[in-house]
Amino acid sequence: MYAQILEERRQSIGTGGDVGRTRSIRCETASVSGAVSQRACVYCGARVVLNPITDAFHLVHGPIGCASYTWDIRGSLSSGSELYRNSFSTDLQERDVIFGGAEKLARAIDEAVERYRPPLIFVYCTCIVGVIGDDVDAVCRSAEARHGVRVIPVKAPGFSGSKSTGYRLACEALMKLLEGHEWDGEREGVNILGDYNLAGEMWIIVGYMRRLGIPVAATFTGDASFERLLRAPRARLNVVQCAGSMMYLANLMEETFGIPWVKASFFGLEDTSTALRQVADLVGDDEIRRRAREFTEERSRETAKLVGPYHGRLAGKRAAIFVGGGFKAISLVRQFREMGMETVLVGTQTGKADEYEVLGRLVGPDTVILDDANPAELERFLVERGADILVGGVKERPLAYKLGIAFCDHNHERKHALAGYEGVENFTREVASSILSPVWRHARG
């Protein structure tokens, strides 16, 4: 027996047959109470975007839980400092809640500066900080003056919106960082926005740019450091990969520094090649453009040869996608198509209306499209549509397995790159190794 779909949720569930044609998906709203949303919170959104800044001191001002659960939250890799991989918290106690935590915060910052000398400190305020009345702005301002390092508050109480709100806060914090670093000189190269260097993906992208002859000024925020971020205003173009988290920053940077942006996806053969050619067109000369064409053709050919043997075995299998943002979902649908697979369910935690419209056009008429899905809905549609694999985050994995469905982790914790040509290879192998595993034969008995 499937659970009944909650009345308030019906607006957020549609199919390829109607979304973008006769109706739209309700999205970008608060989660329904008691629905068991898969979403995290505002703080989490801000933290995941900023956390990959490797030499920043990320300090959670609040009770311990939030820091515990986000310790080393992304598998972001660093070529330099490892400071970001620690979990720092003011660990507010009952007494602090009663008497206020501002003083403790100020002292914690002093200790951090003395011990780690970070060039940059982010102070994340979680749920209760505003409620108990800590003037965090004042604490940060005075710490900045006292120590001569940037201390940027990120006021992210969980109740103040959704994960997307947190992305915005992170973007604002990044802008605050760039303030006063306008660049009047010659502009050169690009910034990469919205890649978090999971399993080295940012390095892969930067490597491509180097092959093409396009310098990368700054990366947001995979393998970023304070100093490298400050080079961002020198770029000619912002290449925005994870649109959900970074479009806001791209817009702000366009307003402030006059840097135009382009969206790009590095997931899938086609998307990667398109992205590289577009960037070359936008900032490159004829030579760079020629190189881009040559490079993408060569790599596409090679990669297709490597993954080809799997395609025969995967063709006709049915995929379900439930990921964080819409842009990635779109990329995945296209990637499955390249593999000869059909997407029968696609949903996101924080997708936007226009993205759902694109999805509606991309998928077949019976494909389920849903925003902010919960386990009961996922269970129902996975089984109903006969999905062979679910692509999602760690929380969704046990459900897929219990339902006897293969799984691919497309979230923070993966250990191999899924971006670029290398990623196509890894992705194909991972999908194949799960769908084609002999265990299912026994489980289905």
Partner 1 sequence: MGSMVNCNVNPCKMCMPMGTVTAFLGIAGCMNILHGSQGCSTYIRRHMATHYNEPVDVASSSLTEEGTVFGGEANLVKGLDNLIRQYDPSVVAVSTTCLAETIGENVPDMLARYRESRPECRTRIVQVSSAGYAGTQFEGWFRAVHALVAQVPMDGTPHDGINVVTGPISCADTRALKDLLAGAGLRFTLVPDISDTLDGRHAPEYSRLPRGGTGIEDISRMAGARGTLELSTFVDDSWSPGRLLQERHGVPLLRCPMPVGLRDADAFLKAIEGLGGTVGTRVRDDRGRFLDAMIDAHKYSALGRAAIFGEPDFAYGMTRLCCENGIVPMVVATGSHCPSLEKLLGEETRELAETMQLPPCRFLPFADFDAIENAVVETGANLLIGSSDGRRIAAKHALPLVRCAFPVHDHMGGQRVRILGFEGGTAMLDRLANALISRRDAQFRKTARDLHFRPLVEEEEMERPMAAGDARTGDGVDVARRNARRTLTHPCFTESSCRTAARIHLPVAPACNISCNYCVRSFDCVNESRPGVTSKVLSPREALERYLQVKARMPNLTVAGIAGPGDALANFKATRETLRLVREADPDVTFCLSTNGLLLPLHAQELCQLDVSHVTVTVNAVDPAIGARIYREVDYMGVRHEGEQGAAILMANQLAGIAMLVRAGVVCKVNVVMVKGVNDGHVEDIVRRVRGLGATIANIMQMIPVSGSVFEGMPLVSNKELTVLRKRCEGIMPQMHHCQHCRADAVGLLGEDRSAILFGGAASKPGPIVEKSEAQGPRKARRIAVASRSGVVVDQHFGFADQFYIYESDGSDTRLLEARHIGKGPGGCGMCGQGGGRGDGAKGLDAGKIAKALAAVSDCEAVLAMRIGESPRRQLADRGIAVFATCDDIDRAVREAATACNG
DSSP state of 21: T
Please report how close the Cβ of residue 57 comes to partner 1 at its closest, in angstroms.
9
Of 99, 111, 181, 366, the residue at the interface with partner 1 (CB under 8 A) is 111
CA–CA dist 380, 106 (Å, integer): 50
Please report how close the Cβ of residue 153 comes to partner 1 at its closest, in angstroms.
16
Of 307 and 323, which CB lies nearer to partner 1 in the complex structure? 323
Of 13, 25, 56, 108, the residue at the interface with partner 1 (CB under 8 A) is 108
* Lookup: tokens for 27: 């999205």
Is-contact 232 188, C-beta < 8 A? Answer: no
Of 25, 49, 50, 59, the residue at the interface with partner 1 (CB under 8 A) is 59
Query: Among residues 384, 410, 389, which one has the least CA distance to residue 399?
Result: 389
Of 28, 35, 175, 213, the residue at the interface with partner 1 (CB under 8 A) is 35
Distances (CA, A) of 343 to 121, 225, 315, 381: 43, 38, 12, 12
Site for partner 1 in 406-435 (CB under 8 A): none
Is-contact 109 95, C-beta < 8 A? Answer: no
Q: Applying CB under 8 A, what is the total number of residues that bind partner 1? A: 91
Stretches 107-115, 178-186, 200-208, 293-301: which one binds partner 1 (CB under 8 A)? 107-115
CA–CA dist 33, 339 (Å, integer): 38
Residue 159 contacts partner 1 per CB under 8 A: yes
**342-348/318-323 β-pairing:** parallel
Site string for partner 1, 65-104 (x = CB under 8 A): xxxxxxxx-----xxxxx--xxxxxxxxxx-xx------x
Of 43 and 261, which CB lies nearer to partner 1 in the complex structure? 43
Residue 384 contacts partner 1 per CB under 8 A: no
Is-contact 14 347, C-beta < 8 A? Answer: no
Please report how close the Cβ of residue 44 comes to partner 1 at its closest, in angstroms.
6
Site for partner 1 in 386-405 (CB under 8 A): 393-395, 397-399, 401-404
* Lookup: tokens for 319: 């995929």
Please report how close the Cβ of residue 445 comes to partner 1 at its closest, in angstroms.
8
Buried b (16+ CB within 10 A) or exposed e, 103-125: ebbbebbeebbeeeebbbbbbbb
* Lookup: tokens for 199: 């399993």
Site for partner 1 in 125-144 (CB under 8 A): 126-128, 131-132
Determine the distance from the C-alpha atom of residue 67 to the mean position of all C-alpha atoms in its chain, rounded to a whole number.
19
Query: Among residues 26, 12, 13, 19, which one has the least CA distance to residue 365?
Result: 19
Site for partner 1 in 260-319 (CB under 8 A): none
Site for partner 1 in 39-58 (CB under 8 A): 39-44, 55
Is-contact 333 343, C-beta < 8 A? Answer: yes
Site for partner 1 in 2-31 (CB under 8 A): 3-4, 6, 8, 30-31
Of 13, 19, 20, 38, the residue at the interface with partner 1 (CB under 8 A) is 38
Please report how close the Cβ of residue 82 comes to partner 1 at its closest, in angstroms.
8
Q: What's the chain's length in residues? A: 445
Please report how close the Cβ of residue 347 comes to partner 1 at its closest, in angstroms.
16
Of 25 and 67, which CB lies nearer to partner 1 in the complex structure? 67
Please report how close the Cβ of residue 120 comes to partner 1 at its closest, in angstroms.
11
Judging by beta carbons within 10 Å of its beta carbon (0-12, 13-18, 19+), is residue 172 exposed, middle or buried? middle
Determine the distance from the C-alpha atom of residue 211 to the mean position of all C-alpha atoms in its chain, rounded to a whole number.
25
Residue 375 contacts partner 1 per CB under 8 A: yes
Distances (CA, A) of 35 to 2, 10, 85, 372, 384: 15, 12, 33, 10, 20
* Lookup: tokens for 437: 């595993």
Question: What is the biggest distance separating any 2 CA atoms in the chain, rounded to whole angstroms?
Answer: 68
Of 260 and 386, which CB lies nearer to partner 1 in the complex structure? 386
Of 55 and 422, which CB lies nearer to partner 1 in the complex structure? 55
Please report how close the Cβ of residue 63 comes to partner 1 at its closest, in angstroms.
4
